[in-house]
Amino acid sequence: MSRTGTGLDAVGAAAPRPQWSSRLAFILAATGSAVGLGNIWKFPYITGENGGGAFVLVYLACIAVIGLPILAAEVMLGRRGRHSPIRSMAELARVDGASPRWAWVAWMGFVAAFVLLSFYSVVGGWSLAYISHAATGAFTGADADTIGGLFGGLLGSAPTLTLWHSVFMLMVVVIVGAGVNAGMERAINLLMPLLFVLLLLLVGYAVVEGDFTRGVDFLFAADFSKLSTDGVLTALGHAFFTLSTGICVMMAYGSFLPREVNIARTVVTIGVLDTLVALLAGLAIFPLVFANGLEPGAGPGLLFVTLPLAFGQMTGGALFGTLFFFLLLVAAITSAISMIEPVVEWLEDRGVPRKAGALGAGLLIWALGLCTVLSFNHWAGFHPLGFISRFEGKTLFDLFDFLVSNLALPLGGMAIAIYAGWIMKPELLRESLGLGDGLAGSLFRFVLRFLSPAAVLIVFLYNLV
Ligand code: PHE
């Protein structure tokens, strides 16, 4: 049934379109997108760098108050549009009587997702390399120099990085090429439960082998004297990254969402699951770090240098180390498939079959990924924007990351909030989100109109200077 007339569907149900087979399927897919390197790699190390508990509290507040309303708005726009984000935004702007330039938001998201996947795949490839290191016992009994050397050796070797990057991209293309139900949904239904089982297993291992009380203390005892302004803004910025919101990836997923699913309730579930995974990852990692007298604030190397050192010292370290990096791989893949989806959908809108679209887009993204590969070795001294002091010493990889994490995600998030809060009629907004006439609806709209854009603006300006 087409409900174009009500404005709920901008485009109507003209062409048959695949749908997630259930609300649960969507929750798993969206959670799969949200749970990624951001949860298992980035969250623990930024928590470590920012002193623990107080940072975690602020992060939770940012997710709840700013991240989730924007995520809900993004999914809702996708479901109303029912096409690729670019086409959806164009159609919605027409139906809602707004400027056709709103499609630019989706164009920016398109470019950002493309760039994001190009380097995400390289880092995803590291987890493949580390599965093989852990499984072959490379960490067992190794000292800090040896383990540091392993990471340095990986980054220094363009052929090795390229190999793992290629394997990672190939997996993504195969899954996405097979389609929404036969490919993505099937893979996600298998991978997400696996992810939770692995994570719980690893937390169990940390309880037995690690200094669990210190780990819990570090994550949950809030000492606000340890939190800087910098930390607050990092928390807010990361809320977007971890929820995958702002670059229209969730809009693409929302386009397959059955009409009867209540969006507001669903995104809360996604937010809770995403947060749970980040916290559990912290509980799996920090007890091991403390038990081995290592440094929680080690930065990006926390997972690839500090943690292997811990695994190398412990009973069962080879097995659990392998499982840990396998977990990282699973989390990365289910996020990566969401990044290529808007691109493939856009090609589909232009009549390119899904398999060909996934392959073609995958090849281009893979090629761009080679810039990231080279940023760690042959091009490590190449700083294209080095003449601007903000970008001094930044490699191409650093610039890509900046473009996506510091510019596209917050800007896109702000635009989505403004569209939902200011352009859409209040009744339509409530109905599309599944909110009643009560306080929740008004609060939601208030957040989208004022709080989210203001918060994003602050992070954005801060990240620029
Ligand atoms: N949320 C993913 C993570 O935490 C990253 C991501 C960002 C995925 C934006 C899609 C879009 O790793």
Residue 126's domain spans which residues? 23-464
How many angstroms does the Cα of residue 313 sit away from the middle of ligand 1? 32
Ligand 1 binding site (Cβ under 6 Å of any ligand atom): 33-34, 36-39, 241-242, 244, 247, 249, 335, 338-339
The pLDDT, as a whole number, for residue 298 is 85
Q: In whole angstroms, what is the distance from residue 10 CA to residue 81 CA? A: 5
The reported pTM is 0.92
| Distance between CA atoms of residues 247 and 361, nearest Å | 17
Closest ligand 1 atom to Cα of 113:
11
Residue 7 lies in a domain: no
Q: How far apart are CA 171 and CA 337, in angstroms?
A: 9
Rg (CA), the chain: 22
- pLDDT tens-digit readout, 306-343: 899 999 988 899 999 999 999 999 999 999 999 999 99
Report the pLDDT value the prediction gives residue 5, as an integer from 0 to 100: 42
- Two structure tokens written together for 279: 């916290």
Closest Cα to atom 8 of ligand 1: 244
Which amino acid does the sequence have at 47? T
CB neighbour class for 99 (10 Å; exposed up to 12, middle 13-18, buried from 19): exposed
How high is the pLDDT of residue 7?
55
Distance 97 CA to ligand 1 centre (A): 31
Give domain status of residue 13, yes or no: no
SS3 content of the chain, % helix, strand, coil (to 5): 80, 0, 20
Asked if 332 and 171 touch (Cβ cutoff 8 Å), the reply is: no
Nearest-CA residue for ligand 1 atom 6 is: 244
Q: Is 445 inside any structural domain?
A: yes
Distance between Cα 207 and ligand 1 center (Å): 28
10 located within any domain:
no
- Locate the ligand 1 atom nearest the alpha carbon of residue 335 and give its number: 8
Residue 22 DSSP label: S
Contact 303, 328 (CB under 8 A): yes
Which residues, 6+ apart, have CB-to-CB distance to 16 below 8 Å? none
d(CA 13, CA 274): 32
pLDDT of amino acid 10: 57
What distance in angstroms lies between residue 430's CA and the mean position of ligand 1's atoms? 27
Domain count, the chain: 1
Tens of pLDDT, residue by residue over 23-56, are 999 999 999 999 999 999 999 999 998 989 999 9
Closest atom of ligand 1 to 36 CA is: 12
Q: How many CB atoms lie within 10 A of CB 342?
A: 29
CB-based contact 95:102 (threshold 8 Å) = no
Distance 387 CA to ligand 1 centre (A): 30
Of the candidates 359, 369, 408, 464, the residue with the CA atom closest to the CA atom of residue 106:
408
| Mean per-residue pLDDT over the chain, rounded | 91
Residue 4 falls inside a structural domain: no
- Asked if residue 349 is part of any domain, the answer here is yes
Q: Which two tokens stand for residue 85?
A: 């984000």
Q: State which of 31, 33, 43, 126 you would mutate to test the pocket of ligand 1, scoring each by most atoms of that ligand within 8 A of its C-beta.
A: 33
Each residue of 278-294: pLDDT tens digit? 999 999 999 999 998 99
* Residue whose CA lies nearest to ligand 1 atom number 4: 38
Segments in the chain below pLDDT 70:
1-16, 463, 465
Q: Tokens at residue 387, please?
A: 């003449």
Residue owning the nearest CA to atom 11 of ligand 1: 244
Residue 12 belongs to some domain of the structure:
no
Closest CA relative to residue 285, chosen from 328, 253, 348, 244: 328
Residue 14 lies in a domain: no
CATH number, position 382: 1.20.1740
The atom of ligand 1 lying closest to the CA of 409 is: 9
